[in-house]
Amino acid sequence: MKVEIHKQDLIGPINTVQKAISGRTPLPILEGIYFKAENNQITLMGTDGEISIQTKVAAKVLEEGEIVLGSRLFGDIIRKLPSATIYLTLTEHNLNIRCQQSEFNIMGQPTQEFPQMPEIVDSVKIQLSRESLVDSLRSTSFAVSLDDLRMALTGVLFDCKPGKMSFVALDGYRMALNEMEIQSDAEIQAIVPARACTEIVRLLDESLDSILIELASNYIKIDLGSTIFVSKLINGEFFQYQGLVRNDHKINVKLKRQDFVQGLERANLLAKEERSNLVKLDISANEILIESHSDIGDVHELIPCSTEGDGLKIAFNSKYLLEGVKAIQEEEIICHFIDSVNPCIIESSEKSGYIYLVLPVRLAGQ
């Protein structure tokens, strides 16, 4: 194999496929980058057995060939080389790397044992805007369960119905739900691992307008043209989330999102010192009193608001409450309450589609 390529053209594809590679794998071959040169094109691929990323880049290929190279070493070498043309020559399993006055020789592995990209068959195809997909994943994936005993809840549910797409994550204490209208008659449910959701967001360059998602029985695939992302799905039955959102609210509180975030962040400085991580809200007609107490002190914050209904005293895990409020991008939010023991629903007052539901913490005497 003989290849010529500029460093700046190679480093991006290496960074891309390294997102799929884990340093904690029982299979040494998965610590490597699959490298193939043919038809004036280089194909790179990385996988951890769950997530696979393949990308292609144009290059001057004088002789075809393929090899598996140690991901960390190969990537570090390319990053440290001067910004100039790199000359790659493969002899047996030895790769010679030359760039200006630098020269490396590194050993690779044969490609026979390296897994190929999973083949996606009988898939459902859905087209979404980049902005919609990124917003949906960012506003839900933080709410997945960390409990491996409830594996189905450790991912984000992609719930596709004719004309509507829902992204859902819940962990037993809170639920994040983002719904949107789509131009599709497809009907499928798929649970996408939280790590896969994170990597999808990292891959979606701002220059992209629309994204093609393919969902099959075992895989999700996202085709970005020169880059293909594939992840295994989580098997299992997702929680029947549809009945969790109630509409019989008795108290509706409208307030500025940023005021609430800043107040909760300050209260959280003390709340996180206690195991319960508790903040208390005392809601009245025109303001919310945020309180937190710990062995080392206490904090009191007053936030202006507009309340419909009676006053209410209620407590929450400060982390769960704060994450949900931060997930909303609009300036004004509405918090809906039934009482001090039923879930609170938080949504934007300006834009529909996103709902965050969080369970309160029962106080003594409730």
CATH number 3.30.470.20 is the correct assignment for the domain at 245-358: no
**For the domain with range 124-243, which CATH number is right: 1.10.260.40, 2.60.120.260, 3.10.150.10, 3.90.1300.10?**
3.10.150.10
List the chain domain ranges.
Answer: 2-107, 124-243, 245-358
Please state, as a whole number, how many other Cβ atoms lie within 10 Å of the Cβ of residue 78. 20
Q: Is pLDDT at 266 greater than 70 in this prediction?
A: yes
How far is Cα 249 from Cα 338, in angstroms, rounded to an integer? 5
CA-nearest of 320, 323, 321, 327 to 353 is 327
**Which tens digit of pLDDT belongs to each residue from 153-201?**
999 999 999 999 999 999 999 999 999 999 889 899 999 999 999 999 9
**For the domain with range 2-107, which CATH number is right: 3.40.50.20, 3.10.150.10, 3.40.50.10490, 1.10.10.10?**
3.10.150.10
What was the pLDDT predicted at 366?
A: 56
Q: Are 54 and 226 in contact (CB under 8 A)?
A: no
How confident is the model over 287-308, as a mean pLDDT? 93
Q: Are 157 and 238 in contact (CB under 8 A)?
A: yes
Q: Are 161 and 130 in contact (CB under 8 A)?
A: no
pTM of the model: 0.92
**Which tens digit of pLDDT belongs to each residue from 50-61?**
999 999 999 999
Q: Is pLDDT at 365 greater than 70 in this prediction?
A: no
Q: Could you tell me the pLDDT band of residue 352, with boundaries at 50, 70 and 90?
A: confident
Q: Is pLDDT at 304 greater than 80 in this prediction?
A: yes
